[in-house]
Amino acid sequence: MRKYPLLIIGGGLSGLAAGIRFARFGQKVLILEKHSKIGGLNSYYHRQGKLLETGLHAVTNFARPEDKHAPLNRLLRQLKIPRRNLVLHEQIFSEIIFPGRASLCFSNDFNLLLQQIKEAFPGSTLSFTDFVAALDQYDPFVLKANISAREYVSSFLQDELLVEMLFCPIMFYGSSEEDDMDLSQFVILFRSIFQEGFFRPQGTIKDLLELLLNQYKSFDGEIELSAGVDEIFTENNRISGVRTSAGEEILCDNLISTAGFPETRKLFHSADSAKTFSNSNAEKISSRLSFVESIYLLGQSEIKYLPKDRTIIFYNLADKFTYHRPIDPIDPSSGVICFPNNFQGTEKDDVVQLRVTHLANYDAWRKAYDNKDKSMYRSMKKFWMEESKKVVGEIIGNCIENIVYEDSFTPVTIERYTSKLQGAVYGSPDKIKDGRTNFENLYIAGTDQGYLGIIGSMLSGVSMVNQHILNKT
């Protein structure tokens, strides 16, 4: 029977980063990935001879090379990837727009946001400065009980519109909780979105994934694809090993699961072990939040009708910005519109891309998908995409035409390809901040540990290996 000092469930960004970290110091590690491709939530597929990314709008946490303590540069050092080997394209600027009420632009220069707030919310300028000063003092990495970010932010900022506008991008880019979030998560996201900002690495997510995979392999890290873990075995409060979908049993000293907390619970087949792992049932600890993501490829002639300077637009049309599972299959009244061509210095392409995200109702999509009448799901998709297009047209001031190709994925698609229950992109609302479980050699990394997004999930993989496994045996 094979045995490894470390086994990792999942070849998404957190699993790859964790693997690199452990392999780097010469120890044997195996990543088991269920899917035939690496990347997890952030992967890619081919259509129309084009490579389409499943989950990349923008990478957060932009930092200049000389800023050595910035999360991005720390992460790269940890992975032993020289910063100068990467070409990063910064955003032009992004906008939060609540039409008819206010608009706030922000870029990788925090002063733009300060200036915009000064103009749109003159009465809140001083309290915003105090608020930012308080956040700067806040250490989100010290473990503490959850604090409501909504209450905290409102204790500084009296203007409810400003509060909602700040929450809009932050929630869309990383809240697993409905209508509120933990203050530590808020602080991490506020920094990574507003104070650091957005970029895209040169090329596509495939290049980034290959860079990580090659790095992992150069340290003799092992990875197997189409090799899902079906069951986790225990022995006296410890994990002894796993069984793969091919029926092989593999032993390990340590196990890191990046599959998600409720998803990992399902891998314990004995009721006792599942209970030891967690008392709450899987449904209860899954998030209710998921999204529909649409990708449009537009002919070059369309470019003159699209915004040329904005990289991402976060919008809300409702009287009150809400962030929860909608009653309808999707809620087009708020969303994110991303223009992947609008990053500084990106090459001109023959097609223009547009991506749109809305909150979605998992149950509604699941019901349609499971219906005997297979056309149900397709027609539901078609109907809601038309609704979405109308709204997007309103926001960008032109209807989207000349569509060469369009595709959208629903919470069911996300669940099918990443095994995230209910398509919960941001995982369970109950984060395992220290990564520990009731089994002394099983750790949770990635989305359900608490760091989100591309940089966040990689930092999670790195930190869990650093804190719990490296130099511990």
List of residues contacting ligand FAD (CB under 6 A):
9-15, 32-35, 40-42, 55-60, 228-229, 258-259, 263, 293, 414, 418-420, 425, 446-447, 452-454, 457
In the complex, least distance from residue 68 CB atom to other proteins, rounded to whole angstroms: 5
- Closest approach, Cβ 342 to other proteins, in A, equals 31
| SS3 (DSSP) at 374 | coil
Rounded to the nearest whole angstrom, what is the least distance from the CB of residue 18 to other proteins in the complex? 14
Residue 392 binds which entry of other proteins, ligand FAD, none, CB below 5-8 Å type-dependent: none
The whole-angstrom separation of Cα 19 and Cα 26 is: 11
Could you tell me the smallest distance in angstroms from the CB atom of residue 28 to other proteins?
A: 13
The least distance separating ligand FAD from the CB of residue 268, rounded to whole angstroms, comes to 12
Partner whose binding site includes residue 423, from other proteins, ligand FAD, none (CB under 5 to 8 Å by kind): none
141 binds other proteins (CB under 8 A): no
- CA–CA separation, 473 vs 460, rounded Å? 21
Residue 242's SS3 state is: strand
Question: 372 to 431, contacts with other proteins by CB under 8 A?
Answer: none
Cβ distance 221 to 1 under 8 Å? no
CB of 470 to other proteins, least distance (A): 6
Which candidate, 225, 223, 229, 293, places its Cα nearest to that of 263? 229
Question: Using CB under 8 A, which of the segments 23-31, 85-93, 417-425, 442-450 binds other proteins?
Answer: 23-31
Compute the residue count for the chain: 473
The residues that bridge with 12 in the sheet, in sequence order, are 39
H or E element, residue 257: strand 249-257
Identify the three-state secondary structure at position 333. Answer: strand
Told to check if 462 binds other proteins by CB under 8 A, we report yes
**What DSSP line would sit under 340-357, residue for residue?**
TT-BTTPPP-SEEEEEEE
Q: Which is nearer to ligand FAD, 27 or 419 (CB)?
A: 419
C-alpha angle with apex 449: 447 to 450, nearest 5 degrees?
Answer: 70
For position 143 contacting other proteins by CB under 8 A, the verdict is no
Question: Does residue 471 bind other proteins (CB under 8 A)?
Answer: yes
Q: 22 or 128, CB closer to ligand FAD? A: 22
Please, what is the Cα angle at 33 between 245 and 60, to 5 degrees? 155
DSSP string, 278-308: -SS-TTTTS-S-EEEEEEEEEEGGGGGGS-S
CB of 63 to ligand FAD, least distance (A): 14
The listed partner (other proteins, ligand FAD, none) that binds 275, CB under 5 to 8 Å by sort, is none
Stretch that binds other proteins, among 22-30, 105-113, 192-200, 315-323 (CB under 8 A): 22-30
**Least distance (Å) from ligand FAD to the CB of residue 276?**
19
What is the Cα 102 distance to its own chain's centre? 27
Can residue 26 be called a binding residue for other proteins (CB under 8 A)? yes
Q: Alpha helix locations (H) across 140-270?
A: 149-156, 160-172, 183-190, 205-218, 261-265
* Options 2, 3, 68, 284; binder of other proteins; rule CB under 8 A: 68
Name the residue type at position 196.
E
* Using rule CB under 8 A, residue 78 touches other proteins: yes
DSSP string, 108-138: SSHHHHHHHHHHH-GGGHHHHHHHHHHHHH-
Nearer to other proteins, 78 or 341 (CB): 78
- 194 — phi, psi (to 5°)? -90, -40
Listed ranges 48-56, 197-205, 224-232, 460-468: which one lies at the site for other proteins (CB under 8 A): 460-468
Q: What is the binding site for other proteins (CB under 8 A)? A: 24-26, 68-69, 74, 77-78, 82, 462-463, 466, 470-471
